[in-house]
Amino acid sequence: GLYEAMTMSFMGTQTLDNLNVATDSKLRNAVRISNPLGEETAFMKTTLLGTLMESLSKNFASRQKSVPLFELNKIYLPIDNDPLAHEPEMFSVAAYGDFDFFKLKGIVEAVMDYANISDVDYLPVSDNPTFHPGRTAKITHKGEELGIFGELHPDVPGNFQIKSRCFVAEISVEKLFALRGPDPAFEPLPRFPAVTRDLALVVDKEVPSADIIKTIEMNDRGLLEKISLFDVYQSKELGDDTKSMAYNLIFRSDDRTLTDKEVDEVIAEILQALNKENIRLRG
C-alpha cells in the first residue's frame, strides 16, 4: 500500500531545479505569490512531484528504509489574460526502497481500471530530463496524454539528498473523470476452463512491451482472455542489446473446452508473427 501525503501548495524555483525540469518547460510558468514568506514558497506549484520528493527526503534523513507516498491534490496553472489559475486535480506517487517500475505500473493500471478507461497505451519517454531515459512511460488514451510514470533520472534523488532509486507517477484526475467509462456490468462466470501458457521472449532492449502484446493479440484467434508481463531479464549471455521478457497468457473459449492442440497451434502462429519482428522464443 501507499501512505497518503498532504503537502503545501507552494514551491520555489529550486524545487524545479532539483527535479531537473527543463528551462523551457511549461512547469516553470508558475503563478507568483504577491507576498511570499520566502523564495522557497514564492510560487504556486505546477506539479506535486517536487513537494512529494521533499517529503521523501525527510523520511530518508530519518532512516526510513522504504517509503511509498501518494498525494491527491491540485496544481495551479496560469491562464492568459485571467488573474485566476486553472486548478486541475492530480494523483501523484513517489517512492523509494522496496519498490520498482513494475509495482508502479501496477498502481497506474489499477487507477486506469478504477476509472474504467480501456485502450490505454504506455509509450516510452526518453527526452524528459526529470526521468530515467530508459525506464519511463507516458500514459495515453487514443492519443491523449493522461500522465507519466517511471524511475527518476539518476541525478534527481541526490538533489533531494536521497541515496536510493526513486519512482514517481503523476496522472491528471481531471482527464480521468472526463474519460471515465460506464460502470462495468455483471458478467457470468466462465462455463469452460482456461488454458495457461508462459512465453519467454528475447527482444531488442528498445522494444516496448506494448508492441509485443499488440502482436500477440493480433494473432490469438480471438481466444486470448488475458496477457500479463511478469518478468524482464538481462544478462551477459543475452547480450548488451537484448533482453528477455516473460508473459503469462490465458486462453479460453466461450463455447467449448480448448484442447492442448488448439492452444499449441495458436502459440505457433503467435511465435511465427513475432519471428517476423525479430522476436524469438528464449531457449
At 152, the pLDDT band (50, 70, 90 cuts) reads: very high
Instruction: Tell which CATH classification among 3.30.930.10, 1.10.10.10, 3.10.20.340, 3.40.1280.10 matches the domain 3-179.
Output: 3.30.930.10
Write down the CATH superfamily of domain 195-281: Ferrodoxin-fold anticodon-binding domain (3.30.70.380)
Q: Over pLDDT 70: what percentage of the chain? A: 100
Residue found under cell 528464449: 282
* 3-state SS class at 54: helix
Tell me: the pLDDT tens digits for 93-107?
Answer: 999 999 999 899 999
What are the residue ranges of CATH 3.30.930.10 in the chain?
3-179
Give the pLDDT confidence score for residue 53 in this predicted structure: 98
Give the pLDDT confidence score for residue 186 in this predicted structure: 84
Angle between the 260-275 and 209-217 helix axes, to the nearest 10 degrees?
130
Mean per-residue pLDDT, 182-208: 91
276 burial via Cβ count (<10 Å: 0-12, 13-18, 19+): exposed
In 3D space, the residue among 46, 48, 64 whose CA is nearest the CA of residue 56 turns out to be 64
At 174, the pLDDT band (50, 70, 90 cuts) reads: very high
Report d(CA 108, CA 134) in Å as an integer.
18
Mean per-residue pLDDT, 186-200: 93
At 130, the pLDDT band (50, 70, 90 cuts) reads: very high
In 3D space, the residue among 96, 71, 99 whose CA is nearest the CA of residue 161 turns out to be 96
Give the pLDDT confidence score for residue 162 in this predicted structure: 98
What are the residue ranges of CATH 3.30.70.380 in the chain?
195-281
At 139, the pLDDT band (50, 70, 90 cuts) reads: very high
Q: Does residue 182 carry a pLDDT above 90?
A: no
Q: Does residue 201 carry a pLDDT above 90?
A: yes
Report d(CA 75, CA 38) in Å as an integer.
19
Mean per-residue pLDDT, 207-232: 93
Mean per-residue pLDDT, 66-75: 98
Using the CB atoms, write b or e for 32-60: b if 16+ within 10 Å: eeeeeeeeebbbbbbbbbbbbbbbbbebb
The better pLDDT of the pair 232, 273 is held by: 273
pTM of the model: 0.80
The better pLDDT of the pair 146, 182 is held by: 146
Give the pLDDT confidence score for residue 283 in this predicted structure: 77
